[in-house]
Structure 1
Amino acid sequence: MKPDPSTLIATLGGQPQVVTFTLDLLLAQGEQIQDVVIVYLASSPRYYQAARLLAGEFAGDKYKQRAIHFRSVPVQWGDKKLEEARTRSEVEAVRATFFHLFSNLKAQGQRLHLSVTGGRRIMSLLALSTAMHHFTTEDQVWHLYTPDAIAEKARDGAMLHVPPEEEVHLISVPLVPWGSYLPGLRPILGTSVQEIRAQGLQDSLERDRCRQVWEKLTARQQDVLAQLANGRTRQHAAQHLAIAITTLDSHKTEIFRHCQFVWQDEGAKIDIPFLRERFKPFLLGLGVV
């Protein structure tokens, strides 16, 4: 009995042959691949070149005379293509890309093959963790083993296909599909950090960061932070605290300075909306707001 039609999703860096080697091996196993989707970061011209080389292999939605549709999915962050995944917000953008891709394909009833050999390591890690939410026992994760000599010959797409006798082969990567075994967990597993914050919840790292800032502030600066985090405007906060708005702004500058230091690895924009998003759950926990 033939396997059901399926989709190959692959993380991509500068080595397009990783995708074609994987696809060739899956087709040789009898898999009925109908779609190939590559996910990549737009950080290097090599990545664009790799994507273009791959697209050329699927001209007219044909791959070696088989009907296979190809598409590329650059990771988006807002309205721009993401170049790197260094900060928490950028990592969340990568996770969200995989989350929506897997979710949409599974909603269409697709069987999925995930190749995690190409691209940045953070891409593979996030693809794996997100696959746990959506994959079923019918889906599969693969790593491609390529001998060093072949890898060198094929570097940068110089060789997109290898003869069957070469020692290139696929390794099945074990994955526990928690979303399939425990479907009630799916809404929780798929919740982003931003959604958690919007629900008034907070992870331990965020609590620790908020506490670091809070404990550095004077009593008056804490009052100002509490007012702004609770949604008051600068004018209303100043009136409520019976201080001049220039005094409030002076306290706000110090609050921002401490936040910039504590959240410097995230590269977040420090402003009043940031204070509301990050500090309101923390202050609710303290009973301050």
Structure 2
Amino acid sequence: MVATLGGQPQVVTLALDALLDRGYPIRELIVVHLSTHNPRYHAALAQLAQAFASGTYRDQPLRYRPYAVAQGSTVIGDIHSEAATDTVLNTFNQLLQQLKQQGRVVHLCISGGRRMLGLLGLAAALIYFDYSDRIWHLYSTDTVRAQTHEGAMLHLPPGTAGVQLLAVPVRPWGNLFSALHLPADASLQTVMNLQGAALDATLHTRCQQVYERLTPRRRDVLRALAAGLTPQEVANQLSIELSTVNSHQGAIYQECQAVWDIEPGRRLDYRWLRETFNRFFTR
């Protein structure tokens, strides 16, 4: 489990308790934090270090590892500039890349600390996570927050109302790019460039599959829509009725839904075709 931390250590332990209650086998807790020059962060880390000092948790082995956001040897104190943002993102890049190269399943809780800390953790997770990994947000009521404020309580009795661990419903890119062989020290920009190229190749393949299934006239309609024309403009250019264009669009949508495995009922329109197929026709 990887968790972001500010001055509220109970966010970490309550999320961990919830994961263990659901049967997830957590064997390591990595807490990502800013500089302990902030007294609240220092106190929160000290409280967690004490809670995990024995190397066990709920009678099971569990390694506790604080992980500072640092540029070189300097731990940053806040996220107040683009340079600090880059440092946080690179920290998550290094950590998550290492964990996934080790074949680890990662649970990321983004509720602790600065909001930007969690958002940047989420951004990195979308790049590296696959469908075995999970991203979580800890919800708690005002009453629970008051009871547990700044570690006054690290745990709640079983069945306590007002606290819930919620899965963040995202589709990570890592599952699409699992075949990429990255150097152990690959920078975030290198990873994003490689994944962008792989994504372009995947998109081109899917567009090609749709294109090959279409009749010559439907290909003409798709090419015109991809070029930025509206359905009425396509009708005018091809000298056909608007209803005919709409009929061809419907057939194109059906092929797209099959190739992209789009859930039934999702509405597609000509703008989606333009954004999806424009580069296919212009590259």
Q: Deviations over 1:235-260 (max 9, x none)?
A: xxxxxxxxxxxxxxxxxxxxxxxxxx
Which residue in the other structure is 2:56 paired with?
A: 62
Choose the corresponding residue for 2:174, options 179, 188, 207: 179
Unaligned residue ranges in structure 1 (runs of 5+): 1-7, 197-289
Taking the TM superposition and a 5 Å limit, the aligned residue runs for 1:72-151 are 72-151=66-145
Alignment partners' CA distance in 1, 2:125 and 2:102? 16
Are the counterparts in 2 of residues 95 and 126 from structure 1 also a CA contact under 8 Å?
yes
Which secondary structure does the structure 2 equivalent of 1:33 belong to? coil
**Structure 2 counterpart of 1:170, from 160, 165, 172:** 165
Counterpart pick for 1:29 among 22, 31, 36? 22
Task: Map residues 243-282 of structure 1 onto 2, 5 A cutoff.
Answer: none
Instruction: Give 1:179 deviation, angstroms.
Output: 2.6
For 1:180 and 1:13, how far apart are their aligned partners in 2?
Answer: 30
TM-score, normalised by the number of residues in structure 2:
0.63
State the Cα deviation string for residues 260-286 of structure 1 (Å, max 9, x = none): xxxxxxxxxxxxxxxxxxxxxxxxxxx
Q: How far does residue 183 in structure 1 lie from its aligned partner after superposition?
A: 4.7
CA distance in 2, matches of 1:58, 1:22: 15
Identity %: 38
**Paired residues, number:** 188
CA distance in 2, matches of 1:67, 1:184: 32
- TM-score, L = length of structure 1: 0.61
Residue-by-residue CA offset, 1:98-145 (whole Å, 9 max, x unaligned): 000001111111000000000001101100010011100000000011
**Cα offset, 1:60, TM superposition:** 2.1
Partner secondary structure for residue 23 of structure 2 = coil
The answer to whether the Cα contact below 8 Å between 1:133 and 1:186 also exists between their aligned partners in 2 is: no
Q: What is residue 9 of structure 2 aligned with on the other side? A: 16
Deviation at 1:185, TM superposition (A): 8.1
Moved over 2 A (4+): 182-190
CA contact (8 A) 1:34 1:69 kept: yes
Q: What RMSD in Å do the two structures reach over aligned CA positions?
A: 2.2
Cα distance change of structure 1 residues 176 and 190 upon mapping to structure 2, 3 Å threshold: farther
CA shift for structure 1 position 189: 9.1
* Cα distance change of structure 1 residues 46 and 107 upon mapping to structure 2, 3 Å threshold: same
User: CA separation in 2, counterparts of 1:144 and 1:64?
Assistant: 20
SS class of match (1:53): helix
Aligned counterparts, 1:202-241, within 5 A:
none
CA distance, structure 2, for counterparts of residue 174 and residue 12 of structure 1 = 22
Q: 1:155 aligns with which of 140, 149, 155?
A: 149
Tell me the residue number matched to 2:42: 48
Letter in 2 for 1:40: H
Residues in 2 aligned to 1:113 and 1:75: alpha-carbon distance in whole angstroms: 19
Instruction: Look up the equivalent residue of 1:46 and give its one-letter code.
Output: R
* Separation of aligned partners in 2, 1:12 and 1:31: 21
